[in-house]
Chain A
Amino acid sequence: MKTYKINEVTFKEETFTNIQRVDADHMSTFIPLSEFNSDYQQFKIDIAKGAQLSDANNNVMTSEQANTFLATLP
């Protein structure tokens, strides 16, 4: 089962956010918050269907929290 995690990192004095998808085989894929990226499009579909999302501190978010986060995304 694939899960998702919000990543935040400071690079060149800017804080960037992306999504880390961990697949069933433990492969990690880092997904940009780009509306044209098909992995990002699938992330939003999966979360809306109830897939697990953790925040930047590795806390699993509730469905309500995840959907609230989704609403802030492009």
Chain B
Amino acid sequence: MSLQQITANDILNLPANTVSNTQLVAGSVENYLSSQNSFITYRNRIHNGEMAVNQRATANVTNTASILNSALYNSIDRWKTSFFNNSGSFNPTISWKQTTDHPIKGSNGSCLEIVAQTSATPSGNVDFFGVLQSIEAQHITDLFCGANSPNLTLSFWVKTNVTGTYSVQLRDQGTSPGPNGQYIIVSSYTVPTSGVWQKVVLNFPAPTYSAMPNSVNAGLGVGFYYASSETLANTPGINPYNNWASLSTWGFVANTQANLFSTAGNYFRLTDVQLESGSTATPFERRPYAVELQLCQRYYFQGQMNFTIAGSITTATNGQQYYFVPYNLPVSMRTTPSITPSGSNVLTGYTYNNQTLNLQWGYTPGPQEIVLKMDNPSGGNFSTPIYVSAEI
């Protein structure tokens, strides 16, 4: 029967498994529900793709030569920078931060903004700067399931003053590596116009070569590159452009990759990043902020421990005086987290509310609890910021 012949009564009596892709193509249901302001949820495997959650609330994080050659989580939740300067000359000062600019919400929405504060050119083998998100392996086992793996679609919005070609790389961090390292695939897009929001849709072939383990480890890295000297021309005989290929080196980009850091003041904005199953980009899945925050707190939590010690504690049998303060985390984290109890040197002690407190030790018994050990507290009200990380 054709779509025009279906009546309400037919739908009420529609036998199971009788509607196929000939009637419902990819996106038809999702697009209709979107037009009705309704969504099928959890299609998007990217967390915080709307760049709304920013627990670290860092106004303007600057990456400089002192923190090169590393991957850092220090700004918008779930996103990290990957900044390599193997040549020694690729040392731009780069800021990246949450900015209020959005293609749909305008100034009421958010994006990730990268700004070149100084200029530099990548060279040698190998310099690059990118922004990545590592997706937990168990979150994408249905996307990497051997011969049954679906095609993948990545969609996002960009806005920059530097027109040209930019690259995206997916890196399989979870399945068994191939003969030359982990499997990667590179694609690129062109920004034709300066200073205008543009939606980008990239399709990737199905990763049928291997299956993702059901684990909490890193599964898939989704990287956006803004400068790199590691072009595809450096991989003779191996072509990872729109093709899953085994390569160990990070930072591969298209041969015509733009350099965002060619001139001080250049900027790039990114938001509404969505990775989903299939070959059609459905509308961005706009999850409630509270839901997105909880998804992010599986990997990072920042809060304030406030507690009162009533009176002085007694001396323990070993002659020490100490006090253990437990704290339950709001979300069970990906794994037993690390804890940084204060923004200052916790070993020297500090004063709060006229009480001297020496924080000696932090302990994380499991993914949902932390314990702080205080030395010689004499009673009073105490407060300390805590930074808890189970980032991938």
Contact = CB atoms under 8 A, between A and B. Distances in A.
A28 B347 contact: yes
A28 B386 CA distance: 11
B328 to A, nearest CB: 16
Interface in B303-350: 324, 334-347
B329 to A, nearest CB: 13
A62 interface: no
A43 to B, nearest CB: 10
A16 interface: yes
Interface stretch (B181-189, B273-281, B360-368): B360-368
A11 B338 contact: no
Nearest to B340: A29
Interface string B213-256: 00111000000000000000000000000000000000000000
Contacts of B334: 36
Most buried by B among A28, A39, A40: A28
A22 B348 CA distance: 13
Interface residues of B, number: 30
Contacts of B56: none
B172 interface: no
A12 B215 CA distance: 30
Contacts of B360: 9
Contacts of B347: 22, 26, 28
Interface SS majority for chain A: strand
Contacts of B337: 32, 37
A30 B344 contact: no
Nearest to B334: A36
A46 to B, nearest CB: 11
Interface residues on A, range: 20 to 34
B336 A30 contact: no
A29 B341 CA distance: 7
A58 to B, nearest CB: 11
Given A11-B324, A39-B389, A28 B346 contact: yes
A18 B340 CA distance: 13
B364 A30 contact: yes
Given A26-B344, A28-B346, A38-B391, A16 B338 contact: no
B45 interface: no
B371 interface: yes
Nearest to A7: B361
B388 to A, nearest CB: 10
Given A9-B373, A36-B217, A38-B391, A29 B339 contact: yes
B390 A11 contact: no
Contacts of A37: 335-338, 390
B336 A34 contact: yes
Contacts of B362: 18, 28, 30
Interface in B362-392: 362-365, 371, 373, 389-392
